[in-house]
Chain A
Amino acid sequence: ETGVTQSPTHLIKTRGQQVTLRCSSQSGHNTVSWYQQALGQGPQFIFQYYREEENGRGNFPPRFSGLQFPNYSSELNVNALELDDSALYLCASSPKAADYGYTFGSGTRLTVV
């Protein structure tokens, strides 16, 4: 059974650019959530996808958007990058929505310069 995989592991972007982060959910999991973890802070919920639909959103601006594909993998897109977007982006999958049996991926570390 494969776990949650994220790509890339590290990324450096310039302010104003756009970025796409990818996540493959654990086998058998149909729900994917994305979290942002700034240095020294706990992860903050961005949004969740269930069966290709957004199933809830945290306090993040519209320039944070996502997709879920039929195979339950997911993308997080961030437009017009700001310096404060520098963080570890974590993807977590669960067997179904509102199931707290989350498995986290190892994250993508984004640096905006």
Chain B
Amino acid sequence: RKEVEQDPGPFNVPEGATVAFNCTYSNSASQSFFWYRQDCRKEPKLLMSVYSSGNEDGRFTAQLNRASQYISLLIRDSKLSDSATYLCVVTMDSSYKLIFGSGTRLLVRP
């Protein structure tokens, strides 16, 4: 079983739509959680950290459910520029490495 699992998509949505991505992680000892964005043939870039209380950054909302080992990302009012692959990332306590999911591809159409 993969440490971090994501639906690969692609999610194909019209501009202005709301879209949600889910991610599950296998190790209950995971400590920190992130969403990264990766454009085609580019490097991953940190989109936002994810906290148990949930957090919002503009049109983006991230949620963490530790009991279910589940992380989500909600994008409201999708823009064409949101088209990218969204990578779910976890870390382990006292570890230094980022554990990536395989990513979910989002395509926003006009």
Q: Which residues of A contact B (CB under 8 A)?
A: 31, 33, 35, 40-45, 48, 55-56, 58, 90, 92, 97-98, 100, 102, 104-107, 109
**Which partner residue on chain B sits nearest A6 by CB separation?**
B43
- The one of A43, A58, A97 in contact with B44, judged by C-beta atoms closer than 8 angstroms, is A43
Whether, in the assembled complex, B32 has its beta carbon less than 8 Å from a beta carbon of chain A, the answer is yes
B98 smallest CB distance to A (angstroms): 7
Per the bound structure, the CA–CA distance linking A90 and B89 in Å amounts to: 15
Q: How big is the B interface, by class?
A: 20 to 34
Whether, in the assembled complex, B107 has its beta carbon less than 8 Å from a beta carbon of chain A, the answer is no
Residues of B within 8 A of A90 (CB): 43-44
Assuming the A-B contacts A42-B4, A58-B97, are A102 and B46 also in contact, with contact meaning beta carbons closer than 8 angstroms in the complex? yes
B53 smallest CB distance to A (angstroms): 18
A97 smallest CB distance to B (angstroms): 6
Give 10 A-B contacts (CB < 8 Å), ordered by A residue: A35-B98, A42-B87, A43-B100, A55-B96, A56-B96, A98-B96, A100-B32, A100-B34, A104-B43, A106-B43
Per the bound structure, the CA–CA distance linking A106 and B34 in Å amounts to: 19
Are B98 and A100 interface neighbours, CB within 8 A? Answer: yes
Q: Apart from A56-B97, A100-B91, what are 16 other A-B pairs with CB-CB below 8 Å? A: A31-B96, A33-B98, A35-B100, A42-B100, A42-B103, A45-B98, A48-B96, A56-B95, A97-B96, A102-B46, A102-B98, A104-B44, A104-B45, A106-B42, A106-B43, A107-B43
Residue in B43, B44, B95 with the greatest tally of chain A CB atoms within 10 Å = B43
Assuming the A-B contacts A40-B102, A102-B46, A106-B42, are A33 and B87 also in contact, with contact meaning beta carbons closer than 8 angstroms in the complex? no
Are B43 and A105 interface neighbours, CB within 8 A? Answer: yes
Whether, in the assembled complex, B99 has its beta carbon less than 8 Å from a beta carbon of chain A, the answer is yes
B62 smallest CB distance to A (angstroms): 15
